[in-house]
Amino acid sequence: MAAALTIATVDPSDASVILLVITVNTVVGVVQEVRVEEAVAALSAMNAPSARVVRDGEERSVAASEVVPGDLVLVAEGDVVPADADVLAAASLPADESSLTGESASVEKAPDGDGTRGTVSAGTVIVRGHGRVDVTATGADSALGRIAALMGAAPGPTPLQHRLAKFGRTLATVTVTLCAIVLTLGLVRGQPVELMIVAAISLAAVPESLPAVVTLALALGARRMADRHAVVRRLPAVETPGSVTVIATDETGTLTEGRMAAEQLWTASVGEALVAGTGYAPDGRTVRNGETVPPSEAPDLTAGPGRPDAPGSP
C-alpha cells in the first residue's frame, strides 16, 4: 500500500526503496523454502525407493509407490519395508522399527507370530536375514501413513510470530498516530498538501524494513542449522527451539542414532569420569581429571550394582 501511494504521489525514489525491501523479503523466503523442499524431496527418495515383488510367478523390481495390497514382497538385510505386510516366511528376520516406535532394539519377525511379531511395517528396516511378506496396507493406510496424517494439521503461530504480531500492532498504531500528527502540523503551518502526504507516507514506510530484517535473521539461522545437518522446513521454526524450556523424551533412539553408549559416569565416592569410544566397539578409555584411568585403578567405575565393592553397597 505504501509503495502504491508513493507512486501515486510521483515519488519514485521512496517507491523504489519500499519495493526493494519487499522484494528482498520475498526472495529470501522463497529461496529458503525451495532449498528445504529439495532437501526433503531427497530424503523422501531414500525411503524405500524400490521393492522386489513376485507377480505372476516372476520376481521383479518395482518402485515402492507401485506396491499394492496382495503383492508378495521379498525382503532381505538392509531393505526398507515398502508397506505394511504379514510375514509368510522368515530366516532370522529382525527389523529395526525405531523410525516407527522410537525403540532402538530390533524386533525378531516370524510367520504366524503373536502381536506385531508376525507383521512388518512400512518404513522399517530389515537388520539381517531374509523373508517373504504379504502386503496388507500401503500409503496413507499403513501405520506410518496414519502417523503422517496426524501431522497434516497446519502448525500454529510460533512464539516469535506472536510477539511480532503484538509488536506490529503497537508499531502500526504509533506510526499512524505520528503520520496524522505530522500531516496535521504541516497543513496547519501552510505546507503544500502533496509534500505533507509524501512525508507522512515516508514515515509510515519505515516499519517495512522489519519483515526484511526478521527474514534475513531467520535465514541466517537456518543456514547455520543446515551446517549442523538440521533441515528447517519453515523459517519461523528456526526461532521455536529457542523458546523451549523442557524437552520430554526417552533414551531409545527417538532423538539419537539408536545406538546407546555411556559417555559420562558419576559415582558418589570419587565423582565424574568421561568415557571415550564409539558404540559397541571393543576399544575406548576412561578419563578422570584429564588423565586416562585403567580399570584396576577405578574400582568405583568397574564395580557392578549390588556387589560388595560397589559404591553405596552395604
Task: List pLDDT tens digits, range 285-294.
Answer: 888 888 888 8
Cα–Cα–Cα angle for 37, 43, 47, nearest 5°? 135
What is the 3-class SS of 109-172, one letter each residue?
A: ECCCCCHHHHEECCCCEECCCEEEEEEEECHHHCHHHHHHHHCCCCCCCCHHHHHHHHHHHHHH
In angstroms, the CA 79 to CA 19 distance is 52
Question: What kind and span of H or E run contains 314?
Answer: none
Backbone angles phi, psi at 285, to 5 degrees: -155, 160
Domain range summary for the chain, segments of one domain joined by +: 2-41+156-241, 50-150, 264-302
Look at 124 and 168; give whichever has higher pLDDT.
124
pLDDT at 246: 82
Task: Name the strand (E) or helix (H) holding 266.
Answer: strand 264-267
**Three-class DSSP category at 80:** strand
Give the C-alpha separation, 51 to 123, whole Å: 12
Q: Given the C-alpha cell 520475498, which residue does it identify?
A: 26
Quick one: 266 exposed, middle or buried, by C-beta within 10 A (0-12, 13-18, 19+)?
exposed
Query: What pLDDT, on a 0 to 100 scale, did the predictor assign at position 36?
Result: 62
Q: Please give the pLDDT value at position 118.
A: 87
Q: Are the beta carbons of 164 and 214 closer than 8 angstroms? A: yes
The CATH class given to the 50-150 domain equals mainly beta
Q: Are 80 and 47 in contact (CB under 8 A)?
A: yes
Would you state the pLDDT for residue 134?
93
Mean pLDDT along residues 293-309? 65
- Percent of the chain, pLDDT > 70? 71
Find where cell 515402492 sits.
Answer: 64
Active-site residue 11, yes or no? no
Direct distance between the N- and C-terminal alpha carbons of the chain, in angstroms, rounded to an integer? 79
Rounded Cα–Cα distance for residues 6 and 14 (Å)? 7
pLDDT tens, residue by residue, 48-106: 578 899 988 889 989 888 899 999 999 999 898 999 999 999 888 999 888 788 777 78
Sign of the dihedral through C-alpha 57, 63, 64, 66: negative
Query: Mean pLDDT of all residues in the chain?
Result: 76
What pLDDT does 216 receive? 74
Instruction: Catalytic residue, from 56, 84, 250, 300: name it.
Output: 250
Where residue 303 falls among pLDDT bands split at 50, 70, 90? Answer: low
Q: Cβ of 48: how many Cβ atoms within 10 Å?
A: 20
CA distance 273 to 298: 10
The pLDDT confidence band at residue 136, using thresholds 50, 70 and 90, is very high
Q: How many residues does the chain have?
A: 314
Contact of 314 with 306, CB cutoff 8 Å: no
Query: Residue range 214-226: average pLDDT?
Result: 77
Residue 46 per-residue DSSP state: T
What is the CA 182 to chain-centroid distance, rounded?
Answer: 48
Q: Which residue has the higher pLDDT, 159 or 38?
A: 159
Poorest-confidence range of 104-118, 180-194, 260-274?
A: 104-118
Task: Give the pLDDT score at 175.
Answer: 80
C-alpha cell at 197: 502526504
State the pLDDT confidence band at 312, using cuts at 50, 70 and 90: very low
